[in-house]
Structure 1
Amino acid sequence: MPEITKRNVRLPLSIPFIIANEGAERFSFYGMRSILATFLVAQFFNPSMNPSMQAVAEAKANEATHFFVSLAYALPFVGGIAADWFFGKYKVILYISVVYCFGHLFLALFEDDLTWFQYGLVLIAIGAGGIKSCVSANLGDQFDESNSHLMSKIYGWFYFSINAGSVLSTILIPLIYANYGAKWAFGVPGIFMALATVVFFAGRKRYKRVPPSGINRNNFVFISVYAFFNRSKKVKGQLWLDVAKQKFVPGKVEDVKSVYRILALFCFIPVFWSMWDQNLSEWVLQATKLDRHVLGFELLPEQIQTVNPFFLLVFIPIFNYCVYPLLDKAGLKTTPLRRIGAGLVLTALSFVIIAFLQTAIDEGRHPTVWWQIAAYIILSAAEVLVSITGLEYAYTNAPKSMKSTMTALWLLTTALGNLFTAFVNSSISNGGFFSRLEGATYYWFFIGLLSVTIVIYLLVSPFLDEKKPSTEPSDEDELLVASQAHGQ
């Protein structure tokens, strides 16, 4: 008879350090980001608050913000390779966290110097992006067969720490900015990042460390590059990737084929992120022009974005345990591709509300922030449908050897979406082609772009691979997906 592993009811001693580190790091990232767009306008791009300069100033601020986010979400691929091949997760997290701290320090010290402030943003992007692909995987490394049954609960607390850090920082940092100025508003997130680094270092003797594996030639990039440059060697009946079987493990080449099938779905995701991330920049700037009185309190413009993580936490269980089962029972099968399509439609609807709000502002009116809150709620539902569903679909359908690759490629869709939005805003600020997108026209452009994407998606999605994964995702897989899709 096979030996039965005895269950261990005790948590790994490293867990509190990892969760505390994650909560503090997310506080630092979302705290500085919550005020970034409004600070850039007020401090650098239109300090005199000249109405004739405001549109260009906001475009410059949005351009800088989206370039920053794009860089932060492009680097997890590099951080993951550095950890898996060369240094191990612990060293990458620790050393890049120090770079992260210096980035925050630059923001606090150089609030009057745009060049050095931007250097600080680059360092933070390197820090946040470099550790992004390591921290959640490091949490999973702490478990073995004896305590794996506790993993779901711990990933739940991990995901809670992400959203708790996000919510608390977007409430508190704008208050600090309004009452004590930018130096403290950027300094406090830096203190939290330093605290996160110290906490992570304090647990160094308790971590289970998976050593780096060295350079793995049988990976997505090496196989794809080789196959592309040798595609002329393909014989009749072969796909272009099959030529790589001459030099690489054939099973790994088949795994790469699976990745490309999933990438067909990923092609529709960057436009979602190009719009979603505007809720942390363009929407914040719009909130400065709204009547922000809510239940007898006047909210700061940067605090409205707190609606998103709050309703995300509310909607995840509602969709998983109520909406999806009820629709399935009614005969409306909620397949991943249908969920994503519905999420894209909801994203467009949220932007329609924002566009009408902007029209009222352009006409000199002062509409209530409740309409923007409604848009945030709809966008949160869209995030559950698109972001979490999309990554879960990719994660569960990807072969085991390519799951980390799929996570990195998923994060690249965020980078591409933000890069496009940054390009549009750069064109506006420099008087280029997109400078005609004034006021509400800006939002209608993105609505039109998404509408075209939805039409193409409806035509293409019936032909996308929607096979059932060979094994259903575990609870911890689903929570890992949720953390990667939103806060992680």
Structure 2
Amino acid sequence: MAQAPAAQSNKFPPQIPFIIGNEACERFSFYGMRNILTVFLIDYLLRTQIPDNALREAEAKSLMHTFMAGVYFFPLIGGYLADRFFGKYRIILGLSLVYCLGHACLAIFENNVTGFFTGLALIAIGSGGIKPCVAAMVGDQFNESNSHLVKKVFAIFYWTINFGSFFASLFIPLLLKHFGPSVAFGIPGVLMFIATFIFWAGRHKYVRVPATGANPHSFFKVVASALRNRGQGGGWLDGAKREHPEEAVDGVKAVFRVSALLLPFVPFFWMLFDQKASTWVVQARSMDPQVGPFTFQASQMQFINPLLVMILIPFLTAVVYPAFQRFGWELTPLRRMPLGLVVGALSFIIAGIFQVTMEGGTTLNIAWQILPYIVLTLGEILMSTTGLEFAYTQAPREMKGTIQSVWLVTNTLANAAVAITAKLNVFTGSGQFFFYAGFALVAAVGMALVARRYVVRDYYQTSAPIPTEERSAAGVTPGSAKSA
């Protein structure tokens, strides 16, 4: 007798507020400390070690982007440990405690280089390690009865990230100015402790998906098998079919197909985007901070980005994208991402023009930075939100984690490249803005050319796989192929 389908529920699971509350506080803590990091390094920690201001600014930028490269590298390790050995709950809770310890180091060792950098390393491990687990754990809390609410809860989740970032960007720079580094780094630490407590408080309510253990058909095992069985006919990966099912080999092919589109080009966007916390902050320090009755700190201007994200995403989704579709030119993901690179480059060109003006002796008001922030945020939405969804849909279920890792690696590579470039200090002043803008424009052209040849294969989750004989009879491939 067939089992009756579960009754649909329109209520979020009771454990969701614990995860959302945790995310809001954690994001406040992270962006609070990160957004003042460049200014702190320039004005406090490195002041005695590097007397020259220009060299100190270059070193501060290099250190900030080295930290960010770590933040986006450790998700690979955190996600792997959660999936294979410990489960998401234990990884989130354990690394959150490491995260709290890192914040404590920042507050305590404000004048100690070794102690402060130890704190940054612990935060990179904690923040990066929990990053892939929290979002995945949100999805784990839903079943067939309330699966229709998943899209809504992730919208709330993304909005919460920007909500925390907005208030942190607005208020923590003021704490640094008026109360000093211990308080400015201590308050984010308190918020991270609260985030950890909120998450722990929901421990009896969570659905905990157990770790899967070793995957015999993982990405690296399939690749190793293909290398062992070279020359077995077909493409080089087809030799792996001697030891692995066809679905696993096709999944690895999907990873390479997507990686060829993302890895060579997407890092050039992150090179631009993450410099809003370094190069743009340094530029703001040379501007007139008085806007009407308000005096803005250089680091505060970063509040514009999360505020605009909360406004522009619904506007683009509800108005702009449908308008392009009505005019017969749909903004597909493969068109949005190269366009995002172009728009990001434009934001740096605008900021570079501002820098040329100031180098000519004119002092610009800090409010002028609103314009490049608007343009950069538009580029972020075109590239980041689109690219994340695109990466997810372009691989079968077994390889979605690997594809998300590829996406995170693009950010790691970008920040490592900026850290090295800043350390070498080859480009200074307005030249650095046009340098990065030029690279992004070249990357946009390259990505657009590769995207023209890319055949989209969307892999969506299904309640049950279609039997092979039915799939063949219906002419259905593992992913729905369509022209780019």
Q: TM-score, normalised by structure 1?
A: 0.91
Offset at residue 146 of structure 1 (A): 1.7
**Is the 2:106–2:116 Cα contact (8 Å) retained in structure 1?**
yes
**Is the 2:261–2:450 Cα contact (8 Å) retained in structure 1?**
no
**Is the 1:133–1:408 Cα contact (8 Å) retained in structure 2?**
no
Offset at residue 218 of structure 1 (A): 1.1
Moved more, 125-134 or 7-16: 7-16
Alignment partner, residue 240 of structure 1? 236
| 1:125 corresponds to 2:115 | no
| 1:275 corresponds to 2:272 | yes
Moved more, 362-371 or 304-313: 362-371
Alignment partner, residue 75 of structure 2? 76
Residue 287 of structure 2 aligns to a residue whose secondary structure is coil
Percent identity between the two aligned chains? 42
User: CA 1:425/1:255 → structure 2, altered by over 3 Å: closer, same or farther?
Assistant: same
Q: How does 1:114-263 map to 2 (within 5 A)?
A: 114-227=113-226, 229-230=227-228, 233-236=230-233, 238-263=234-259
Offset at residue 296 of structure 1 (A): 3.1
Moved more, 125-134 or 450-459: 450-459
Alignment partner, residue 43 of structure 1? 44
Offset at residue 472 of structure 1 (A): 9.5
Measured against aligned partners, the alpha-carbon deviations of 1:333-374 in whole angstroms (never above 9, x if no partner) come to: 212111112111111110001111111232332112232110
Offset at residue 49 of structure 1 (A): 9.6
Aligned equivalent of 1:453, options 433, 443, 464: 443
Moved more, 315-324 or 84-93: 315-324
Alignment partner, residue 374 of structure 2? 377
**Is the 1:42–1:49 Cα contact (8 Å) retained in structure 2?**
no
Offset at residue 91 of structure 1 (A): 0.3
Report how many residues are paired.
Answer: 460
Offset at residue 175 of structure 1 (A): 1.0
Offset at residue 47 of structure 1 (A): 5.2
State how far apart, in whole Å, the 2-side matches of 1:226 and 1:359 are.
55
User: CA 1:154/1:291 → structure 2, altered by over 3 Å: closer, same or farther?
Assistant: same
Q: Which runs of 5+ in 1 are unaligned?
A: 429-433, 474-488
User: CA 1:459/1:161 → structure 2, altered by over 3 Å: closer, same or farther?
Assistant: closer
Moved more, 208-217 or 153-162: 153-162
Alignment partner, residue 476 of structure 2? none
Alignment partner, residue 439 of structure 1? 429
State how far apart, in whole Å, the 2-side matches of 1:365 and 1:472 are.
56
Alignment partner, residue 463 of structure 1? 453
Residue 84 of structure 2 aligns to a residue whose secondary structure is helix
Alignment partner, residue 336 of structure 2? 339
Letter in 2 for 1:167: F
Measured against aligned partners, the alpha-carbon deviations of 1:112-164 in whole angstroms (never above 9, x if no partner) come to: 01111111100000001100000011111111112223333322322222111
| 1:351 corresponds to 2:348 | yes
State how far apart, in whole Å, the 1-side matches of 2:459 and 2:419 are.
39
| 1:396 corresponds to 2:397 | no
Alignment partner, residue 476 of structure 1? none
User: CA 1:472/1:318 → structure 2, altered by over 3 Å: closer, same or farther?
Assistant: farther
User: CA 1:142/1:458 → structure 2, altered by over 3 Å: closer, same or farther?
Assistant: closer
**Is the 2:8–2:146 Cα contact (8 Å) retained in structure 1?**
yes
State how far apart, in whole Å, the 2-side matches of 1:79 and 1:190 are.
21
State how far apart, in whole Å, the 1-side matches of 2:225 and 2:368 are.
52
Alignment partner, residue 480 of structure 1? none
State how far apart, in whole Å, the 2-side matches of 1:415 and 1:331 are.
37
Measured against aligned partners, the alpha-carbon deviations of 1:397-430 in whole angstroms (never above 9, x if no partner) come to: 22122222211211111111001000101112xx
**Is the 1:352–1:447 Cα contact (8 Å) retained in structure 2?**
yes
State how far apart, in whole Å, the 1-side matches of 2:101 and 2:168 are.
19
**Is the 1:41–1:47 Cα contact (8 Å) retained in structure 2?**
no
Offset at residue 235 of structure 1 (A): 3.3
**Is the 1:261–1:465 Cα contact (8 Å) retained in structure 2?**
no
**Is the 2:162–2:309 Cα contact (8 Å) retained in structure 1?**
no
Alignment partner, residue 20 of structure 2? 19
**Is the 1:77–1:409 Cα contact (8 Å) retained in structure 2?**
no
Offset at residue 466 of structure 1 (A): 3.0
Offset at residue 4 of structure 1 (A): 2.4
Measured against aligned partners, the alpha-carbon deviations of 1:11-65 in whole angstroms (never above 9, x if no partner) come to: 3221111111111100000000010000001113235996xx1211111001111
Letter in 2 for 1:253: V
State how far apart, in whole Å, the 2-side matches of 1:251 and 1:352 are.
45
Aligned equivalent of 2:283, options 276, 281, 286: 286
**Is the 1:341–1:457 Cα contact (8 Å) retained in structure 2?**
yes
Residue 359 of structure 1 aligns to a residue whose secondary structure is helix
Q: Which has the higher contact order (CA 8 A, sep 6+)?
A: 1
